[in-house]
Amino acid sequence: MDSYEQNYINGQWVTSDGGTPHHVINPATEEPSTKIILGSKADVDAAVAAAKEAFKTYSQTSREERLALMGRIVEEYQKRIPDIANSLAAEMGAPISLGNAMQGPAGLGGFAGTMEALANFEFSDRQGDNLIVYEPIGVVGMITPWNWPLNQIALKVAPALAGGNTMILKPSEECPGSAAILAEVMDAAGVPPGVFNLVQGDGPTVGAAISAHPDVDMVSFTGSTRAGILVAKAAADTVKRVHQELGGKSPNLVLPGADLEQVLPATIGGVMINSGQSCIAPTRVLVQNDQTADAVNVVKTIVEAQQVGDPMTEGNHIGPVVNKTQYDKIQGLIQSAIDEGATLETGGTDLPSNVNRGYYVKPTVFSGVTPDMRIAKEETFGPIVTLMGYDDLDEGVAIANDTEYGLSAVISGDPAEASKVAPKLRAGMVIVNNWGPSPGAPFGGYKQSGNGREGGLYGLKDFMEIKSISGVPG
């Protein structure tokens, strides 16, 4: 069993002040995989004090110094990708092959995109008689999820470093090991003491303490909309900046007459990958009614070919979902769709035939889903595809937009036609014939999917303050 029982504060590994032990359960075996200490408010206070002190000097570093530091981080990070992949497999069930090929490298992508933006960033701009400058915000609190942990951490840590900020990271207690490995990376890369601090813990204690702390100037949160609302409320009394990337219920709008066998494999793959545990998974597949039967056949063939298996073995299979709570929620949504009259085409509530324990979910397809069903409204976070019909494209767009979320949307079909439809979709990201945005694109959503953007230039700007200086010579 792995053990990460200390926090990383002010450049040192330190024992928690009043924390409590916590065991992470391996979702494939239902047995403990990792031990951590859930931190306390006192731990947060110590980390914030270290970050506040470090800000005095780190905020004054040059572009060149920050780029050099981030380059060393990337170099050290690359050495640890196999360790990260093993940790993710044990803690949240991402297969080792996925960890080595996507989960681990996704963190590198966050640094690479930010470094490119920083190298060309204009820190000042003359506008008439005014000098407009970008400056560091200060101390940034970061609260990150378990589903793509290094990706979400890097999309916060990288722009915070690039902007001259200092930080306190609270990763998910469901997947803490990879964040501890990142702290080891930061230490090996020579990040100055206090610039990066790691406090393990849960949301009600450590997350709330970070959000409400008067010396935290910004809190950046990725997770559920429910938890994001709590973070914003906790932060309100200190009027700090709140940056949120929240839930999603992405549509996959299949254009009339699209070649289904050509366009659907990539987008349906986006529902299967990571066992469906992606906030941008395009689970709601909208197809014109005269193509519904063909779509069922194509999607069913794709999903039935998806293997499920042990995350500790190499292969293209998917693993279990992260924990029993998530497993029970998914099973409840599957059963609700059956009870509400949707047609179960494949999958269902039983365990896959090749396993007898663990939180494994059968890859599942429903047809005949209508917008009023629970499974059409709630974020599933499992390998579940729902097929919905529409009469004409205007109705398809209306159904696509009929959600409280607005993180991303997929259009499957002719790219030229898709370009005409994309402006009509109320989502922060629109992807054509794929499920994930291109590297460097701003990541974030509309409506209850949050506010602010991560990644590349726009992510860098979101971690900086804007100051106007009037009356100085040009």
Catalytic residues: 245, 279
Do 314 and 416 contact (CB within 8 A), yes or no? no
CA 179-180-181 angle, 5° bins: 90
Three-state secondary-structure class, residue 127: strand
CA 425 to each of CA 134, 396, 422: distance values in angstroms, whole numbers, following the listed order:
32, 10, 6
Three-state secondary-structure class, residue 412: strand
Neighbours of 294 (CB within 10 A): 12
Beta-ladder partners of 390: 288
- What is the DSSP secondary structure assignment for residue 454, as one 8-state letter? B
The token pair that represents 432 in the structure block: 């054509």
- What is the DSSP secondary structure assignment for residue 437, as one 8-state letter? P
d(CA 110, CA 133): 24
The token pair that represents 370 in the structure block: 């209508």
Helix residue ranges, H only, 7-140: 41-58, 63-79, 81-92, 96-98, 104-119
CA 24 to each of CA 31, 281, 384, 399: distance values in angstroms, whole numbers, following the listed order:
8, 25, 25, 39
Q: For the chain, first and last CA: distance in Å?
A: 61
Give residue 202's Cα distance to chain centre: 17
The token pair that represents 224 in the structure block: 């559920």
d(CA 289, CA 96): 40
d(CA 66, CA 61): 7
Beta-strand ranges (E) seen in 281-407 are 284-288, 343-346, 364-367, 384-390, 405-406
What letter represents residue 423's amino acid?
Answer: P
d(CA 153, CA 185): 13
d(CA 282, CA 410): 7
Interstrand relation of 464-470 and 130-136 (parallel, antiparallel or unpaired): antiparallel
* Residue that the structure tokens 């031990």 belong to: 35
**Closest to 113 in 3D by CA, of 357, 457, 451:** 457
Neighbours of 328 (CB within 10 A): 12
